Chains A and B, each alone.
Chain A
């Protein structure tokens, strides 16, 4: 028998067809799938002892309680602390990816001078030299910390210490002008409010302490809390808050102040509120033109606000017209309204007036990246991440997430005083320095944050006020020593002061304040204080329709 080329083809085709009916190709496919995971370039998680620590997130001034899962000395997971009475276990979505940030490609790894790598010694020499050219201005976006006290002490004889207010605190600044009480010690008593009116504030989308208002709102939806808790949202576009509010009032952009004035006029004229105030000059017809709402719709809105007291108005910015509505409602200094959480009365000057003659401007890392000092002085910016060059002469790498010991003062909008300590849980992965360490290397007489935290704990212990929320809740008065208090706080417990007594804040208006155009609402992703997002958040942007990517928003 002769073997031809045709026979070979037939045999080959037959073998191929027969193989398909055996497990061989499937097994090969399966094995390839498994083998391909064993290549050396496949990343593997850290191995090592696993531990769970409790601390606070210090990426923004809200200071949420966090539970950190550590493996081999590195944070490998972030979760909320359900026992924390402020956050109830909630975190903002970005917080869940915070442990990735220290490894972010945009992490500042070395000192940079005008975009060129430099050294800490050079930065120190330049700062000392700039200090001789004029006063030093230190801008702090996270006031109330031990580091803030270091800044104040350093600038006492050398210049000025100023704070950069975040949007939530800025919304309280009109009350500072009217009452003399600093906006940094004002907050909202949301837990006792029955009607909450948002003028563009993203209450369900990152406003205030995560888990505070959202929790109240969810409990209302579930029937746990008073089901009559009303959320009225007034803004020009459909936000997440507007979508879930009891009532969304759509107004023309920038007409929030006019609507507030119209509502105040109706409240006073129809005697819907006990408290009185100056009647706005704006007529209802004029307000109707500006807002696009009918007079009847505005009347309905005013009656709805007054129907379920106590009511409080929350603005998205410092619009005095919106703030004036709280005065008419009697919400300033009242239960369920705006409260003073601390007796501290020191307020700080605005930045612009001081920057003109400054020799050096030091910007602390906690300041939002978009704070750009308008000055000719040499600018030194401490930051853990590089948000883009050209915004500072010197970029100085600061400690990242959980890389330094710091204390955590009360969050903006909080109705009561709180204090916590965020311990250093992980070693810095680059040569970093905090702004307070940098200043201490110039003036060794400065107190260290450790000493100030120690002193603050001693003061709290001496005051015997408030409670400590650890595994169990204990009044400070029942603790054995200040050291015990500090130990508990360092382990992630939180001290919460006694609730403020009502009536600690008086506010009267002689004439109705003029409104200004309100800034558009911004969600959590826009107000994130660091200039980069965790990679997982970038993924969330790209792969879901929940959020609009920042580049698309600004486009």
Chain B
């Protein structure tokens, strides 16, 4: 069976604590380099704070975790990569980034409408001895290549190996949970197979409160958001003529 892994993030439940960012960085051996800035740092998952623009008691705020949206259709980063270092895995629907093929041209960063891609400017480094605390299931991040969220692909490999050892072809869904999903203290991030109509995440993605960022671009992201607040939903499609792209 072909899966289409995706997420539904309930923004009404997100408190902006940042636990998902920490868990993501820890799982993926992301270095905390002192020379990195908000522009040059590596943050495959970034929680952004947004407001409704009102003042005083009417002021409301929400937090939106932004990561690779795992675009399904005409994936912009795939289209522009000269090295075929990005591809959509047909078995999982995950947009895969292969650092060994990447030459660091950064076209994909320009093409990504969600600014969810990051360039590794420096060799990874940690204080002396701290390399012993790195996750052995994931390689250290390579310098000179573009990185992004791959839905904790190391965990998928581990789940597939476990299934294979048990003589199964399908993984147990409980064995494959990305780090941010596991870490969220409010259970705001839900992960599952969108291709399976019985999967709760698939059902949630079809709820009236669910929406996708910049859906009008027609790239069919597999990361959905959910909110009952109309002003939060309105953030999905910023009123900008420059962003008007026909859904082909």
Please give, as numbers and ranges, the residues of chain A lying within 8 Å of B134 by CB-CB distance: 43-46, 76
Query: In the complex the two chains form, what is the Cα distance from A537 to B21 in whole Å?
Result: 9
Interface residues on A, range: 35 or more
Indicate if the CB atoms of B32 and A544 lie closer than 8 Å. Answer: no
Whether B218 sits at the interface, judged by CB under 8 Å, is no
Q: Is the CB of B186 within 8 A of A214?
A: yes
- Option from A33, A88, A221 in Cβ contact (under 8 Å) with B12: A221
B214 at the interface (CB under 8 A from A): no
A-B contacts, 16 of them at CB < 8 A, read: A29-B103, A33-B142, A45-B140, A80-B185, A91-B185, A96-B22, A99-B26, A204-B15, A205-B15, A218-B13, A218-B186, A221-B13, A250-B56, A250-B57, A539-B25, A543-B41
List, in ascending order, chain A residues with CB within 8 A of B140's CB: 42-45
Residues from 512 to 553 in A contacting B, C-beta threshold 8 Å = 524, 534-540, 542-547
Shortest distance between the CB of B143 and any CB in chain A (Å): 6
Q: B-side interface residues toward A, CB under 8 Å?
A: 10, 12-13, 15-19, 21-23, 25-27, 29-30, 32-33, 36-38, 41, 43, 46-49, 56-57, 59-63, 82-83, 99-104, 123-136, 138, 140, 142-145, 179, 182-183, 185-188
Stretch with Cβ within 8 A of B (4 or more), from A237-245, A330-338, A352-360: A237-245
Are the C-beta atoms of B131 and A45 separated by less than 8 Å?
yes
Contacts of A91 in B (CB 8 A): 19, 183, 185
Q: How many Å lie between the Cα of A96 and that of B182 in the bound state?
A: 11
A374 contacts chain B at the CB level, 8 A cutoff: no
Give the complex CA separation of A215 and B13 in angstroms.
9
Q: Is A451 an interface residue (CB 8 A)?
A: no
Q: How far is the CB of B109 from chain A (nearest CB, A)?
A: 16
B32 touches A535 (CB 8 A): yes
A100 & B23 in contact (Cβ 8 Å cutoff): no
Asked whether A12 is an interface residue with its Cβ less than 8 Å from the other chain, the reply is: no
From residue A342, how far is it (CB to closest CB) to chain B in Å? 26
Contact between chains at B104 and A45 (CB < 8 Å)? no
Compute how far the CA of A249 lies from the CA of B57 in the bound complex, rounded to whole angstroms.
7
Q: Is the beta-carbon distance between B130 and A535 smaller than 8 angstroms?
A: yes
With most chain A CB atoms within 10 A of its CB, the pick from B17, B27, B46 is B17
Q: Are B22 and A30 in contact (CB under 8 A)?
A: no
A244 touches B15 (CB 8 A): yes
Whether A45 lies near B136 (C-beta < 8 A) is yes
B11 nearest CB across to chain A (Å) = 9
Q: Is the CB of A44 within 8 A of B131?
A: yes
| Structural contact, A97 and B135, CB atoms closer than 8 A | no
In the complex, what distance in Å separates the CA atom of A436 from the CA atom of B71?
A: 57
CB-CB < 8 A to A247: which residues of B?
Answer: 57
| A210 close to chain B: CB less than 8 A | yes
The residue in chain A whose Cβ has the minimal distance to the Cβ of B101 is A30
Q: Is the CB of A536 within 8 A of B32?
A: yes
Q: In the bound complex, do residue B136 and residue A545 qualify as a contact, i.e. CB atoms below 8 Å apart?
A: no
Q: Are B124 and A42 in contact (CB under 8 A)?
A: yes
What 5 A-B pairs have minimum CB-CB distances, sorted nearest first?
A90-B185, A218-B186, A243-B61, A535-B32, A43-B131
A104 beta carbon closer than 8 Å to chain B: yes
- Nearest CB in chain B: distance from A223 CB, A: 9
B10 neighbours in A (Cβ, 8 Å): 218, 221-222
Q: Residue-by-residue, is A72-96 near B (CB-CB < 8 Å gives 1, otherwise 0)?
A: 1011111110000000111111101
User: Given that A43-B134, A43-B140, A71-B136 are known contacts, is A96 also in contact with B19, CB under 8 Å in the complex?
Assistant: yes
